[in-house]
Amino acid sequence: MQAVLNGRDSLVVLPTGGGKSLCYQAPAVFRGDTTVVISPLISLMKDQVDGLRANGISAVQLNSAMSPDELREAERAACAGESRLVFASPERMATAGFRSLVKQIGVRTFAIDEAHCISHWGHDFRPEYRQLNRLKELFPQASVHAFTATATEQVRSDIVSQLALRDPEVLVGDFDRPNLTYRVLPRHDTLSQTCDLVRRHAGEAGIIYCIRRRDVDELTAVLRHEGVAALPYHAGLDAAARKRAQDAFSEETCDLIVATVAFGMGIDRSNVRYVLHTGMPKSIESYQQETGRAGRDGLEAECVLLYSGADAMLWKSIVEKSVGDAETQVAPDYLRNAMRHINDMDAFCRPVVCRHRALVQYFGQSYTAASCQACDLCLGDAAPVPDAHIIAKKILSCVARVREGFGVNHVVAVLRGENLVAIRDRGHDQLSTYGLLREHSKVDVRSWVQQLIGQNLLLQVGDEYPVLKLNLSSWEVMKDERTATLLHTPGSKPKAEVRAKKSKADAVSWEGVDRDLFEALRETRKRLAQERGVPPYLIFGDTTLRELAARRPATLERMHQLYGVGDAKLADFGPRMLETVARHCRERGVAFDCSPSESPQGQSRKSESPANDPERPPRPTSSAQVQAGILYEQGASIDDVMGAMKRSRGTAVEYLAAHIRAARPASISSWISDVDYQQIAVVAEREGLERLKPIHTALGGRFDYDQIRIVVSHLLAQRGE
């Protein structure tokens, strides 16, 4: 925001739901002039304009779906200086008429959303974005700000170059989404596995992604037959049908969309609680963006990917066909880059390292936590395979016996002793490794081969028809000079029942929430949204509803203290929400203005709550500390707590210190970076934790007392003090 206000070009990379829009919206409102926002989708523009207007901020969009009268009125409002933000597509930005309008307004700031679309190295290159490279030439006095959720270091560099940004402020946020639980399961029965997940999230919003259109249609039909109100979305449907599906999902009249990747970029529904990929996405960037549509309110969400080794081959054939069918020549580096993205995603799907760690490191950041406690591997969904080292030696030996000339399918078939012509004709049924793993399923053996590849104990070479090759590490395993480990992933046996363990975020976010009241508040929110013709999340997010259901405020003044309740929303929606709270309290005979532990849910879980463990320090007792603790548990920043509770920074930090001492979180990276934490912790341990001043002095003043206080609180909590 400061870069925008200073008129300095910038590139901002923040994950989906991380606040990119606020970075250009707030300065425009603060400064009182007009910012032009370049956005790729009409639906994306509409959602932002609706959201701004709901908060009392004037904004307009100019797009091809508007009537001539609507366009004239939008242009008039922009020219009159009535609109703080003007949204337009890259194609419209290229027209002489719109450029003339921009000059007439005297625009000093351009914001480019989804900026990775300008880069060949990105996962979603769009030729129409390339013409934005003339912005600095046409409007030399204006600053240009690029925003994206998914950009590696190479893509970031290319964005800066393509847009000709001058000495830009490059700001990269934390790519980790700790509230998301990632699971990658072997795909063996898509319909059954999908239905299991949907049943587990009954009554909650979800998105199911399929690779092909026909998969969308088939899966939607099955879900409807099972009584699930799902809607399809893909490019093969007419525009009216796609709009109906999108509107139904945004307005919460439908909670489940089955779609291709064509769905989602323009969706800002904050309370999506699960995302399912029935096949591997084409890149880690796509996966990060698509899973990022879950849990945008900061609350828990589950992201499940059903994986098969054949997915990579399918994507490669799709990409090659699209390049071959292109009417214009495609740059050779585009195809090579697309293949690299597919291979990177394929490697991510193997159960080798923590999913959160793999994602964060892919985008060039470090991940120091020993366990995320929010992925299949760290939650212990994947159990160690007995005799893993022996199994690995059998697999590697088989690759050697077939002279390193065959792919995964053939090697798996030989190991399982399958009676195939391709095996008999080559005499591979006579090999000593034939049938060595016949007692194991094809899904298991394939998974183990992929795990060995992921651990670099086996190589997969070639693009079109990849074959397995041994390397030095392979021979070290076969000579018992190196030990191989394998995991038995959940769901690898078709008849096995998989019980998904809950993440820490899931356990914390519902603590103390009166679920019946939460559902009643959802209904009130939906009615308010229908009356105003806006999506429900623009009324209040689920985070605010859960706070209302936990705190049960009796007055508007007390409601105003809750997260997400600003002046405008309090005036517009507060009375109706309080009516719902009051009615619930009267009917159930429960108290107003309670702490979360006083709610029915809080009491029923009292013995299960870590806060009631006699070996742990007591939770904060003042109502303000309890409220702050709820916000911090839900991922709020210090600034969020300052704003929500109208407290000074020092007080908010004290509340955070008390929360850390009480809750003992495994990581405090939400409030201080891991790098800063390590630097402070080393000195604090050396100087002692009794006083902050010696630590501050020893650090040479590089860190303020608030940062030191937070780290010391965590160190004391880890000691149990």
Residue 433 token pair = 């490794």
How many angstroms separate the CA atoms of 372 and 365, rounded?
Answer: 15
Nearest to 120 by CA among 133, 137, 139: 133
Position 501 pLDDT exceeds 80: no
Q: DSSP string of 392-439?
A: HHHHHHHHHHTTT---HHHHHHHHTT---HHHHHTTGGGSTTTTTTTT
Distances (CA, A) of 295 to 177, 522, 560: 9, 17, 24
State pLDDT tens for residues 310-321: 888 888 888 888
What pTM was computed for the model? 0.67
411: tokens are: 């090697």
For 278, other C-beta atoms within 10 Å of its C-beta total: 24
| pLDDT tens by residue, 244-267 | 998 899 888 999 999 998 676 656
Please report the domains of the chain, with CATH numbers, ordered by start residue. Answer: 2-172 (3.40.50.300), 180-362 (3.40.50.300), 383-488 (1.10.10.10), 510-608 (1.10.150.80), 626-719 (1.10.10)
Rounded to the nearest integer, the mean pLDDT of the chain is 85
pLDDT above 50: residue 602:
no
Taking the CA atoms of 328, 331, 336 and 340 in sequence, report the sign of the dihedral they define. Answer: negative
pLDDT confidence band for 203 (50 / 70 / 90): confident
Q: What pLDDT is attached to residue 205?
A: 94
386-410 pLDDT, tens digit per residue, is 899 999 999 999 999 999 999 999 9
Strands 10-13 and 169-172: parallel
Q: Are 245 and 232 in contact (CB under 8 A)?
A: yes
Distance CA 536, CA 121 (A): 37
**Distance between CA 539 and CA 555 in Å, rounded?**
19
**Cα dihedral: 361, 210, 39, 534 (round 10):** -110
pLDDT band, residue 525 (cuts 50/70/90) = very high
- The residue ranking higher by pLDDT, 645 or 68, is 68
Residue 621 has pLDDT above 50, yes or no: no
Tokens for 625, please give them: 């500390």
pLDDT in tens, 262-283: 676 656 688 899 999 999 999 9
Which has more confidence, 555 or 608?
Answer: 555
**CA 120/CA 331 separation, integer angstroms:** 9
Q: DSSP alpha helices (H): ranges in 124-178?
A: 135-138, 153-162
Q: What number of helices (H) and strands (E) belong to the chain? A: 32, 17
Please say whether the beta carbons of 597 and 603 come within 8 A: yes
Give me the mean pLDDT over the 108-121 stretch: 88
**Do the Cβ atoms of 230 and 203 come closer than 8 Å?**
no
The pLDDT of residue 174 is: 84
- Work out the pLDDT band at 506, boundaries 50, 70, 90: low
339-390, pLDDT tens digit by residue?
888 988 988 987 778 999 999 998 888 888 888 889 988 888 877 888 999 9
Can you spell out the DSSP letters for 286-298?
A: HHHHHHTTS-TTS
